[in-house]
Amino acid sequence: MEHQTVLQETLATILAGASMEERAICTAILETGATQEEIAQKLGTTRKSVERRLYRVRRRARKLAAAGTIVVPSVSSAVSR
C-alpha cells in the first residue's frame, strides 16, 4: 500500500508540469494499456505525436530524478507488486 502511494505521488510530480495531452496519453496507457497507435487514433493525432509527448514526459522524469526530486523505483520492485 505504501509503495503504491509513493508511485502515485511520483507520477503526480512528473505530470505536474505536463500538458493536457501528455496527461491524457499517460492516463490512457496506465488505465487501459493502450498502445501508442490506439492512443493516437483516440486523440485524433499521429503515433509520432504520441511518441514525442511521451519522450517529453520521460525527459521530465529523468530531470526530476537527477535533481533528487523523485526516486525512480527499480523495475524489479515495480513488477513484483
In CATH terms, 2-79 corresponds, of 1.10.10.10, 1.20.1260.10, 1.10.287.110, 3.40.50.280, to: 1.10.10.10
| One-letter amino acid for residue 71 of the chain | V
pLDDT of residue 74: 62
Q: Are 29 and 68 in contact (CB under 8 A)?
A: no
Residues 48-76: what's their mean pLDDT? 88
Domain boundaries, the chain: 2-79
pTM: 0.79
Is 81's pLDDT higher than 70? no
Cell match 487514433: residue? 41
